[in-house]
Amino acid sequence: MAVFLAVSVVALLLVGISSALLRWNGVRYRKKGLPPGTMGWPIFGETTEFLKQGPKFMKNQRARYGSFFKSHILGCPTIVSMDPELNRYILMNEAKGLVPGYPQSMLDILGNFNIAAVHGSAHKYMRGALLSLISPAMIREQLLPTIDEFMRAHLSSWDSKIIDIQQMTKEMALLSALKQIAGIDSSSISQAFMPEFFKLVLGTLSLPIDLPGTSYRRGVQARKNIISMFRRVIQERRASRLSHQDMLGKLMRAEENKYKLTDDEIIDQIITILYSGYETVSTTSMMAVKYLHDHPVVLEELRREQLAVREKKRPEDPIDFDDLKPMRFTRAVIFRDLENGYDSKWGFEEDHQGNGTKRICDSRGMENLCLHKRDKL
C-alpha cells in the first residue's frame, strides 16, 4: 500500500511539473499581436512532433488554430503561415529584408561558408562560383558522360537481386554526386564517406544540443571527418599536379576561374551541393520506381521510347545531349514525378530588418511558411 501511494505521489508530481512547464513556456510567448498556438516544452518545443509527423503536424495545428499559428521548432520560436497568398507575397518580396537562412544546427554542420549562410556580395560571389560549374558546356561534355558511365556500372550491380529500393536510391544519389563532384568512386573513399554523410544529414535536423550521443554532436563530428577526407583529396591533387575535369577540379583551378575560393570555402560548397541534392534525388528516384510500377501502361510507353533511342546506338555507346531531345514522353514522366515525389520539406529565410525572423517554407504549392526568431518573438 505504501509503495502504491509513493508511486501515485511521484506520478502526480511529474504530471504537475510537466503541466507547469508547458503552461510556463506558453506564457513566455503570450504577447500581443502573436497568433494562437502551442509552444511545447522549454528548449525542445514541438521539434519531435514536427520531425516525426511532418505535414501531418502542420495540418493538425491548422485544424486547431487556423492558417496562421505559433510553435517552437528546431530550437526557434516560430510563426507558421499556411496561407498561400501571404506566403506568395513574402516569397515574391525576398529582396525587401528577407535573405536565405538556416536553423543553427544546419549552420554549424553545413559550415559558415555555405551559400545559405552568407549574404550580400559574399552570397553573390558564392552563387557565381556554383553556377560556373553547370554551364551548358560543362553539362554536355562532363556531367552527362559521367552520369551515364556511373549509372551503367551502378545499376548493373542490382541485376537479379532483391533490393531495398529506398536504401539503394540513397546510396545511388550520394555515390553519383561524389563521382560528378570529386571523381570519387566505390574504390576510393566513398565507403568511408557514406556513413559520415548520413550522420551529417541527421545532425542538421536536430536541436543544437552539444551533448554526447545526440544527433547534433554526431553531425558535428561527421562534418569534421568529412572535411578531413576532402582536405586529403585536395592535397593529393595539388601534389600530383594532374588536371581533373570534375567540379572540385574546376573550383581548385583558380587561374582559370574568376571565382577564387579558399580550401575552406571549396569544401563547404561541396558539402552544400551534396546535402542539397542527396534527399531530393534519392526520393524522386524511389518514387519514380513506385509510380512506374503502379502504372504499367506508362512504364511500357517509357520503355518503348527509350528502346527507340537505343536502337540507333551500339550497346557500348553512351547517351549524349542530342539523344535527350526526342525523349518527350520521358520528360513528361520526369516532370510528373517531380510534382508528385519531390518533397522539399523546408527552405529558410531570415529577416534582417530588425526582426531577426526566419521562415520555413514547404515548396508544394507554397503551403507552409514559418517565420521564426533566433532569440525571442
Res. 356: pLDDT tops 50? no
C-alpha to C-alpha distance for 261 and 238, rounded to whole angstroms: 15
Instruction: With both helix axes pointing from N to C terminus, report the angle between 263-294 and 190-204 in degrees, rounded to the nearest 10.
Output: 90
How confident is the model at residue 207, as a pLDDT? 80
C-alpha to C-alpha distance for 35 and 172, rounded to whole angstroms: 44
Mean pLDDT computed over 312-329: 87
Per-residue pLDDT tens over the stretch 243-270? 788 888 888 886 667 778 889 999 999 9
Torsion, Cα of 217, 188, 144, 337 (10° steps): -40
Most distant pair of Cα atoms in the chain: their distance? 86
Q: What is the pTM of this model?
A: 0.75
C-alpha to C-alpha distance for 332 and 87, rounded to whole angstroms: 28
Sequence ranges of the domains in the chain: 2-97+352-373, 122-341
How confident is the model at residue 365, as a pLDDT? 38
Res. 367: pLDDT tops 60? no
- Residue spans of alpha helices (H) in 295-368: 296-310, 328-341
Res. 361: pLDDT tops 50? no
pLDDT > 70: percent of the chain? 76
C-alpha to C-alpha distance for 46 and 136, rounded to whole angstroms: 44
Per-residue pLDDT tens over the stretch 127-138? 888 888 888 888
How confident is the model at residue 375, as a pLDDT? 42
pLDDT > 90: percent of the chain? 14
How confident is the model at residue 222, as a pLDDT? 95
Reported as a pLDDT band with limits 50, 70 and 90, residue 357 is very low
159, three cell numbers: 541485376
For 42-56, 238-252, 259-273, 275-289, which range has the lowest pLDDT when averaged over its residues? 42-56
**Rounded to 5, what percent of the chain is helix, strand, coil?**
60, 10, 30
The more confident residue out of 347 and 218 is 218
Q: What is the CATH number assigned to the segment(s) 122-341?
A: 1.10.630.10
SS3 216: helix
The chain-wide mean pLDDT, for the chain, equals 78
How confident is the model at residue 296, as a pLDDT? 92
| Strand-pair partners of 251 | none
Res. 123: pLDDT tops 90? no
Mean pLDDT computed over 43-59: 79
- Which residues, other chains included, contact 286 with Cβ-Cβ below 8 Å and sequence gap of 6+? 165, 166, 169, 341
240-270 burial, b if ≥16 CB within 10 A, otherwise e?
Answer: eeeeeebbbbbbbeeeeeebebeeebbbbbb
